[in-house]
Structure 1
Amino acid sequence: MLHMLMVGLLWFSAVGCGLLAGLYFAFSAFIMTALGRIGQAAGIAAMNAINIAIVQSLFLPIFLTTTAASGALAVIALFRWGEPGAMAMVAGGVLYVLGMFVVTMIFNVPLNNALAAADPASPEAASLWARYLTDWTLWNHVRTVASTAACALFIAAIAAR
């Protein structure tokens, strides 16, 4: 029974990490660049609209359940260390929880909150928007790499089993 649960969690986590890696990649590769090109007020308004819509979409349940499943896999693998793929499960789970979830909560969400509180037309918004574009995107790169690597590690754990 635990074996089937682990295999299900591995597949779910691999797919979830892959979905989120793709989303983060899109932001890193072209969305943030495009938002930076449309002007401060329009860019801020667009990003605020995205931030509202994203938490009302399927993103949030996938974000949360993939994090929980990845963390569970890391813990389970610690207790089953001698089994094939355990090291990849631990590495994938820890990398995803720290590199995606913790980074999101510590860096990206506070930046989103500051952007939401700003008046897009104010003089202070210019420096906030410039900092947002660089800092948010930097941390999004971290989330992209962590999610992609975790996906690969979960696939490696599946292959090892």
Structure 2
Amino acid sequence: MTDAGRSLQLFRLLTRLHPELWELFHPHVPSVGVAERYDLSAIDAHALPPVVRISRTVRWTAGSVAQATIAADLAGRDAGDILREIADDWCGTGSGHRIPWPRRWPVPWPPGEPYPIDPKALTASVQAEAGLVFQSYADSIADERLSGAFAELADRLTTSALEVGALDR
């Protein structure tokens, strides 16, 4: 089992006591807890606090990447190749953005607009959150090859997040 897989198992144990935590990472479940009290979908994204805005954008982007990868896989493209490119971008080796971000997806803030949060402080958190979203796909897809490609991406993202996070201390 990958490191991301073990992390997700621990997370699942925590959600037994706090099911609202699923809202943070898992794209396949209905909203519970906080989102029911504060319907964030009805709020203008620009009115949200920067941390909430980036978190929503990470989850949306990771889910969009996953859905696009599944569609491309069904059309005959190699999911592993697609997800390795995403890993290169999100792990900071090729996107050219202020925070590591997939090149083919919109960045969280428009180019030239100042970031309300220090981009260096965001990097590890963005990678960790995206990694857990991809691990949730890996765990819920029956096709072993596709599941393995998502697990590989999740492991690379969470490993990078832990390395970047250790440098920030």
Q: Normalised by the shorter chain, which TM-score bucket?
A: 0.3 to 0.5
Query: Which has the larger helix fraction?
Result: 1
TM-score (norm 2): 0.32
In our comparison, the structure showing a higher alpha carbon Rg is 1
